Amino acid sequence: MNRLFIAFALLASFCLTSAAQSSSHQYVTVVAEPDHADWTYHVGETAHFTAYAIKENVRMANTEITYSYGPDKLDAVATETVTTDGEGMAHFSVPAAREPGFTSVRVQVSLDGRTYSSMTNIAFDPLDIHPTTTMPNDFEAFWTSAVAAATQVPMQPTLRHSDNESNDRVDVYYVRFQSYKKGNYVYGVLTVPKTPGRKPAILRLPGAAVRPFNGPNELAYEGFVVLEIGVHGIPVDQSPEIYRQLEAGALAGYTTIGIDNRDTYYYKRSILGCVRAVDYLCTLDDVDSTRIATYGGSQGGMLSIMTAALNPHVRALFAYFPAFCDLTGYYHGRGGGWPHLFRDPTEANIQQRMEVSRYYDTVNFARLLRVPGYYAWGYNDVVCCPTSTYSAYNVITAPKQLHVSRDTGHWLYPWQVAGALDWLKEQLK
């Protein structure tokens, strides 16, 4: 299978929200071009911008452009206008940041009753961003105990071959195994290459949503056994209508279910299910249990980091724009990670909820990582904002690589995906 095709196929499956984040070609394109090509400045350094609007490939002269700027994910602190000159160019400056972080610069043009806009997120010493969350003293003890209890639950796996989705290169199975408690199951799709011998394996973890999964997973054509799981404890092969009803009903707002107590929070079961999924891979004859990686973006990136931190069988991880990073950011006056909790300081029981969040913040799992990781995101991500993702990345002491494409939002370019595949092959060879 053509490698470029695989990269594009993986990109499509990884970034379900990218269509919403990527705008189609606009009649007018408005640009705020920073004077640093890498969009990155030092604290105390003023950023200078050139603004212009393009209609039908020509810069628009004598046109008013509105610009605003403010901290990443927070309200703008200033809004002004400039007018382009005869060559279609205008200039403005953004004041220096006082501490490491990101500033969102937005520009817009109105034409014939329509508004066209864009965003450029500039960084100020991003590798010096420190998280607002802290690790509880009993964080490791809490999770060590939870994992130990989960491993006492017999998996009782079932495996159903999918004749329709299997082909001459891979076998596809729908799997179920018990994980967190008796009667609590993880459901997923297993794709196994038909090549002989034990193979490296990838646990593919999902972004946020309530949805089905099917096979074959394209990563299997790269030589990996791939287990792709859901995190809601429901079968992954039902009709789309069932998932729509669950997402609008029983699982609506699942990211806050049980958040008042660390033992009842929704994600405890989900995280432990991911840990047990690695254990399940280790039981398979086709899998070399010394060559397992986790892989995911957004919610899946968060779970990739968490699973790698908790399960010693994980040898490497790929996490792109991970969620749940520095959840308390908003409470401290800066952008926080998806799902953007604690924006309202007057919400009920906020102090207790923030205390619970410390046991589930990606930052605190990142502190525990001991295996190499490949990370990727962009400056313009408004879902998992870079202020939050850098908060997690900067505390990692394990070997790490970060591959940033500054203009991307909540999606990746194919070269980032292809680079991750090459890296994983090297790590798991």
Q: What is the tens place of the pLDDT at every residue in 254-304?
A: 999 999 999 999 999 999 999 999 999 999 999 999 999 999 999 999 999
pLDDT digit string (tens) for 341-354?
999 999 999 999 99
Classify residue 4: in a domain, yes or no.
no
pLDDT band for position 16 (50/70/90)?
A: very low
Residues whose CB is less than 8 angstroms from the CB of residue 141 and which lie 6 or more positions away in sequence, other chains included? none
Sign of the torsion formed by the C-alpha atoms of 149, 155, 156 and 158: positive
**Token pair of 136 as six digits:** 């509880």
In a domain, 172, yes or no: yes
Residue 9 belongs to a domain: no
Label the pairing between strands 287-297 and 225-229: unpaired
319 within some domain: yes
Domain presence at residue 167: yes
pLDDT-based confidence at residue 307 (cuts at 50, 70, 90)? very high
Whether the per-residue pLDDT at 166 is higher than 60: the answer is yes
- 75 and 202 part of one domain: no
Q: What pLDDT is stored for residue 10 in this prediction?
A: 53
Q: Are residues 264 and 177 in the same domain?
A: yes
CB-CB contact of 416 with 405 (8 Å): yes
pLDDT of amino acid 341: 97
Residue 338 tokens read as: 């998806």
Q: How many domains does the chain have?
A: 2
Q: Is 211 left (phi over 0), alpha (psi -120 to 50) or beta?
A: beta
Same domain, 109 and 253: no
- Statement: residue 400 has pLDDT above 70: yes
Q: Model confidence over 130-159: pLDDT tens digits?
A: 999 999 999 999 999 999 999 999 999 999
Residues 78, 219: one domain? Answer: no
Helical spans, DSSP H, in 107-178? 139-151
Domain shared by 124 and 135, yes or no: no
Residue ending a domain, among 93, 128, 163, is 128
140 occurs within a structural domain: yes
The reported pLDDT for the residue numbered 26 is 84
One domain, residues 104 and 157: no
Do 78 and 166 lie in one domain? The reply is: no
pTM score, whole prediction: 0.94
Percentage of the chain lying above the pLDDT 70 cut: 94
**Residue 80 within a domain:** yes
Residue 315 has pLDDT above 50, yes or no: yes
Q: What is the pLDDT of residues 18-37, one digit of tens each?
A: 433 444 578 999 999 999 99
Last residue of a domain, one of 128, 160, 186: 128
Q: 94 and 231: one domain? A: no
Domain match, 180 and 85 both: no
Q: Are 164 and 297 in a shared domain?
A: yes
Q: Which residues contact 206 (CB under 8 A, 6 or more apart)?
A: 213, 228, 229, 230, 231, 296, 299, 300, 303
Tell me which of 68, 96, 128 is where a domain ends: 128
**CA 17 from chain center: how many Å?**
11
Strand pairing class (158-161; 170-178): antiparallel
Q: Please answer whether residues 401 and 374 qualify as being in contact, where contact means their C-beta atoms are separated by less than 8 angstroms.
A: yes
Q: Which residues contact 386 (CB under 8 A, 6 or more apart)?
A: 72, 102, 121, 123, 126, 377, 378, 379
Which tops the pLDDT comparison, 13 or 61?
Answer: 61
Percent of the chain's residues with pLDDT above 90: 93
Q: What is the mean pLDDT of residues 105-123?
A: 97
Task: Tell whether 193 and 162 lie within a shared domain.
Answer: yes
- Could you tell me the CATH number of the domain that includes residue 203? 3.40.50.1820
Same domain, 215 and 305: yes
Task: For 210, list phi and psi in degrees, rounded to 5.
Answer: -120, 110
Range of the domain at 109: 24-128
61: in domain: yes
DSSP category for residue 81: E
pLDDT band for position 46 (50/70/90)? Answer: very high
How would DSSP label each residue in 284-317?
-TTEEEEEEEEEEETHHHHHHHHHHHH-TTEEEE
Q: What is the pLDDT of residue 233?
A: 95
CATH number at residue 44: 2.60.40.10
- pLDDT over 70 at 5, yes or no: no
